[in-house]
Amino acid sequence: MAKSQFELCGAPNLSYLRLITTEKGIWQHTKGSEPDLAMGYSIDDIARALIVVNRANQLFPELNKSETDHRNLEQLAEVYLRYISHNQEADGSFHNFDSAEGTPIDKNGSEDSYGRTMWALGDTIKNGVTEKQRNEADVIFMKASNYLINLEHVRSNCFVILGIISSLAHERIPERYEVMKKLVGMTIEQFKKESTSDWRWFETEMSYSNGAIPMSLLRASQALVKTDPGLAEEAKTIALDALGFLLVVMEHNGHPSLIGNHGWHGRGKQKALFDQQPVDAAAMVLACLEAFKVTGHEHYKEAAENWLTWYEGNNIIGRTMLKDNGAVYDGIQEDRINGNCGAESIVTYLLARLRWAEVVCKK
């Protein structure tokens, strides 16, 4: 497995994250490195950016200072949390998309956007930069809790599991804990329903952010181990089984190789190689780091580093995904790199780098 050329225990570069963060949020898409104003903002990106600044503040407080941006991490977190609050409806649900002027342009967000937002709110309840932000996140989370068990999609439920686990570290709310257990059980049953001897997966098709599913079960296994050891062990066993399958499927000619979004990978069908997107590489890093944290087995740490090198050129076209200004290219296409550098690409890379620092470097 490949080794990173970077000092992964050092502070990641937040310059581009700062550059595309306005007083309203983070520009969702770019043309090259220039914001595409017509595409506005997305709560998916802003929620994950909130996790980034929470963790950056804890792990690398020196990142509060920037030569090009007067705002500290608390002020960036305030931008992101204000967007989430502004986009919450009276019934607790969330809009996803805002125009460049800050006007909501959709009626309801997707299940994934809800799940990612709850993940970010839970993280902020636990790790928020200030007490004020931690309390505000708790209020928004509580208001949105009516939808915790109403989601159909497995990834959305897994994002919610991550949010609940973080929130419980702040305050153990029995009803919330029971919801987490139910969602874990539902995910386990999904695996039992869809997996076969040669298809160790939760669905009939592998698509995006695949690593998020085993990652959430592994984290849940640790949250459950004292109160429900049977469920915890089952979650851990299935998660490691599925992750092992992922690591085999996501390799091509000796390189880490994501499932392309031009066809995905259906059971019994050929895996699509293009387009590959950075969000999926980050999910693999996070899943492998969670497995390393839970098991202590070095090969999971090596796998996580191997997936970080996907960004550095250890991929099927041998091109780096990283720019000197801290931006991340949006994807690998069959004949080229996608030269745009949108929000999702940078925020998910930063999540992976910060988690490495937390788990491996013991920051």
19-30: string of b/e by CB count within 10 Å (b at 16+)?
A: bbbeebbbbbbb
Residue 36: CA count within 13 A, CB half-sphere: 12
Q: Which residues of the chain have pLDDT under 70?
A: 363
15-359 CATH fold: Glycosyltransferase (1.50.10)
CB 116 within 8 A of CB 48: yes
Q: Where are the domains of the chain?
A: 15-359
Sign of CA pseudo-dihedral 84, 32, 280, 57: negative
Q: What is the helix, strand, coil percentage profile of the chain, to 5?
A: 55, 10, 40
DSSP 335: S
* Residue indicated by tokens 């089952």: 234
Q: What is the pLDDT of residue 363?
A: 60
Q: How far is CA 23 from CA 101, 201, 357, in A?
A: 11, 41, 29
Gyration radius of the chain over CA positions: 19
Report the predicted TM-score, pTM, of the whole model to 2 decimal places: 0.97
Task: Identify the H or E element spanning 104.
Answer: none
CA distance 19 to 149: 37
Burial status of residue 193 (CB atoms within 10 A of its CB: 0-12, 13-18, 19 or more): exposed
Task: Identify the H or E element spanning 219.
Answer: helix 212-224
| Beta-carbon contacts of residue 175 (< 8 Å; ≥ 6 apart) | none
CA distance 209 to 33: 24
| Beta-carbon contacts of residue 332 (< 8 Å; ≥ 6 apart) | 258, 274, 275, 276, 315, 316, 317, 319, 321, 338
Q: What is the pLDDT of residue 4?
A: 87
Q: What is the pLDDT of residue 5?
A: 85
